[in-house]
Structures are given as C-alpha cells and as structure tokens.
Structure 1
Amino acid sequence: MENRRTQDRGQRIIKGFLALLIAVAFFAPLPANPQPSTEENKLQRWQQMSPEERQRIIEKYERWKSLPKEDQERLRKNYERYKSLSPEEREQIKRTFERFRQLPPERRKEILNNYQRWRQLPPERREQILKSYQKWKTLPPEERKRLKKKHYIEKKPRPK
C-alpha cells in the first residue's frame, strides 16, 4: 500500500513537473496576490506593463492560437492539474524545473527524449519499471553498489 502511494505521488510530481514546463511556456507568471479578474483590472495591468512584456504576451498568445484545439485543451488540463497540487508539491516542481533550466541544452534534450520514450512504452512496461525502481530503493547501499558494478553499461558522463 505504501509503495503504491509513493509511486502515485512520484507520478503526480512527474506529471506536475511536465504540466509546469508546458504551462510556463504558454502562460505569463501569476502574481503573488492575484486581483479579482475584472476587465478594468486586466486593462490596468496591461497598461502598467512595459512594451517588452506586452510583446512577450502577444507572442505567447499567437503561439497559443496556432496550437491545435486538442493541444490547447491538454495544456489547459495540465495547468488545472498543476493548480490543484498542494503548495509543497508545486514548490518541489518549481525547484525541479529551475534545476532543469540550469542544465546544459544537450542534457535537457536528453531528458526530454527519455521522457518521450517513457511515454511511448506500454503501460505494463512502465508499471514494471516503476516496481523495479521501488524495489531498488529498498536495497541496502552496498547491494546497489554491487549491482551497479555488475550491470554497468559505459555511457558518456552526464554534466551535473
């Protein structure tokens, strides 16, 4: 039961992280103390923006409008899911996203490619991998070290 809960939490964090990545790409940052969203407030906020900020919003809006309706709906749902997370989960996602942004471009690309490969796996295979990972986490450090040496596949070193 505990493993399942941990697994579900991990999946929610991963999904939330991805939702945040997508939402950040298309939505302007939310203010810390949002005002009621009246037309007058919107106009006032627009007028207080610098020309550069306005231009960025216009460009994001144009990108948004150019997306297929299915993608827009998926992004909206991801954003809503992100908003429904606890403040702690959102904070964890933000920290993870910031670490991701600081990675070299080739490492970010590698991570995104790996995620894409993960998404293409059949659900049964993903479940199997998650179970193996949960089992791995319960092993003593010495056993993990031994298994790493036994099954080590040489790869290029990853930048940290």
Structure 2
Amino acid sequence: MKGAPAILVGIAMALCLAPEAVVAGSPRAEAPRSRGVEPPAPQDQKRVRENRERWQQLPPEERQRVRENYERWQRLSPEEQSKLRERLNRWQQLRPEEKQTLRQRQDEFRNLSPEERQRVRESLQRWRALPPEDRHRIREGSRPPGMQGPRPPPPPPPPSRP
C-alpha cells in the first residue's frame, strides 16, 4: 500500500485498536481501566480481538508506521480529521478497478519531475477554480463561452496527500 490510502488504512487500523496500545507499542489492544476507559461492548469484542491478532502479526516496522500515522492523526484538527474520514469513506466506496486506476495515476505522478508535478498542481488549481457548469461542459466535450484555441488536456489526477 502506498500514499493516502495506506495512511488512511493505517489510521483506521490504529483507531480500531486502543490508542494506548498503538502509541506505546504494546502488542495488546486493551486500554488500562485505571484511565476510565470502558472495555469494548460485547458486540465489538470480536472486532477488537481480530484487530489485536492482526496487530500482533504485523512486523515491527509496520507497527511503527501505524504508530506514526496514529500520532499524525492526533495532531490533525477536527476539520482535517473529518476531511480524511470523508476521503476514506469515498475510497471504500470505489470499485477495485477504480482504486487500481487511482493507484496507477498516483505512481505516475510520483514519477514526474518536480517541474512537471508543479505544472500538474497548477493545472488542477485552475480546474478547481472553474465554475461547476464550465467543468461539466468540458467533461461533456463542449467549450465554455469565451474559450478559444486548442482544447486543453483533461485535468490531471489530484495528488493524493492528506
């Protein structure tokens, strides 16, 4: 896994585990009761058990990556966390072939030179600045009023960085 999806999955996994287990590095996903944390509800115990087993099977470097992602998550503002949750939700709704296409585009973007990446970002900013009706016309193949010259290439894929 690479990029934003990997980060989001790591965060999601970390959030399914007890925060103390992720941050402290404990292989157990149980929070100490002395801190006022209630044990999981009966309907959640199976999920917690499965996540604990997955955590224990992770190699140390992957656990460290999950911990770092969790710590990064904790530093995000509530608005940023909300945006990331929305992105994760949208990602989960994609079909496998759509996910594969996005991964390929992300890899292509990573392989661009810094100058090319900057051009792609600027193009994306111009695209996002267009009114929705102009974007719709462009997608449908007609030109917005007042635009002359050759047809611009389709908008580049957005960089996937949280």
TM bin (shorter chain): 0.5 to 0.7
Q: Which TM-score applies when normalising by structure 2?
A: 0.56
Counterpart position of 2:51: 57
CA offsets per residue over residues 110-135 of structure 1, 9 Å max, x none? 22232233233333322221012112
Partner of 1:118: 109
TM-score in terms of structure 1 length = 0.57
Establish whether residue 86 from structure 1 lines up as the match of residue 74 from structure 2: no
Question: Which of the pair is proportionally richer in helix?
Answer: 1
- Counterpart of 2:128, as a letter, is K
1:6-49 per-residue CA deviation (whole Å, 9 max, x = no partner) reads xxxxxxxx85x652232224551569xxxxx5365699737967
Aligned residue in 2 for 1:45: 39
2:159 maps to none
Q: CA RMSD in A?
A: 3.9
Is the aligned partner of 1:20 residue 2:8? Answer: yes
Letter in 2 for 1:59: E
| Bigger relative contact order (CA 8 A; separation at least 6) | 1
Counterpart in 2 of 1:109?
100
SS at match of 1:45: coil
- Which of residues 110, 123, 129 in structure 2 aligns to 1:138? 129
Match of 2:113, as an amino acid? P
Measured in 2, the distance between the counterparts of 1:82 and 1:51 equals 24
| 2:69 pairs with 1:96 | no
Alpha-carbon spacing, 1:142–1:23, altered in 2? closer, same or farther (3 Å):
closer
Uncovered stretches (5+) of structure 1, i.e. residues with no partner: 1-13, 32-36, 154-160
